[in-house]
Amino acid sequence: MSSDLLSGKVVLITGASSGIGAATARACAQEGATVVLTARREDRLAALTEELNAGGARASYVVADVTAAGDAGKAVDFAVSAYGRLDGAFNNAGIGGDRTPLHLMSDEVYESIMDTNVRGVFNCLRHELAAMLEGGGGSIVNNSSVGGLVAIPTAAPYIASKHAVIGLTRAAADEYAQQGIRVNAVAPGTTRSEITRDWFGRNPGLEEVANSLTPQGRTAEPEEIAQAVAWLLSDRCPFLTGTVMPVDGGFVNK
């Protein structure tokens, strides 16, 4: 049931073609936001946009690869051109990579993960912040991970990238706090997504191990992360910036 948490706001969501990104698009639209979706897979973006508009929301999409600064700028420029401003952004696009011991990790895997998970967020932040400065403020949420707060074996580049997302979040929050822009991050625990489906598929028993380390004893659904993101994007938390919110069933408290 909608509470109009984001009524009247224009929100950009990256990595919106599946998982947490798609769930957040649905949650924000349900809460009254106009949503601009971006990802690399046009077929999925088009289908989700059609679904949202058919349900009475206002949604559109831009095909973009956030690792390219020009693409990130194109998505932000589209939102501002189409709707007049940018009030919120969820920088969600990311990849997981191989589960491999650090001494066996290839340069290609490291560079791919860092390029998407760190450079992608950096590219988006630069353009989003510029648009929000022009528009008088806004709220940005970056998607980190519990892997940005703790270590997880055989995932060193992923862990490093998600720690870096937290660093970018805190730096931006501090720099723009007095200019009406809040920047926070969510740190999801084990959540059903293409990344975890891939990891679980190639590592039998991994999901059970992860759940055993989570006090709630289960894997989260993308919609559960999306609700936290929608709240952080809203005006309900005006004094909250530079925060990393674990949405992890208690994992980091262990």
Give CA–CA dist 163/85, Å, rounded.
30
User: What residues are annotated to the active site?
Assistant: 158
Structure tokens at 160: 């490093």
Token couple for 197: 């489906």
In the beta sheet, which residues pair with residue 59?
35
Q: Tell which phi-psi region holds residue 87, choosing left (phi > 0), alpha (psi between -120 and 50) or beta.
A: alpha
DSSP state of 220: B
List phi, psi (to 5°) of 104. -105, 0
φ and ψ at residue 145, rounded to 5 degrees = 180, 160
Instruction: Report the C-alpha gap between 128 and 198 in whole angstroms.
Output: 31
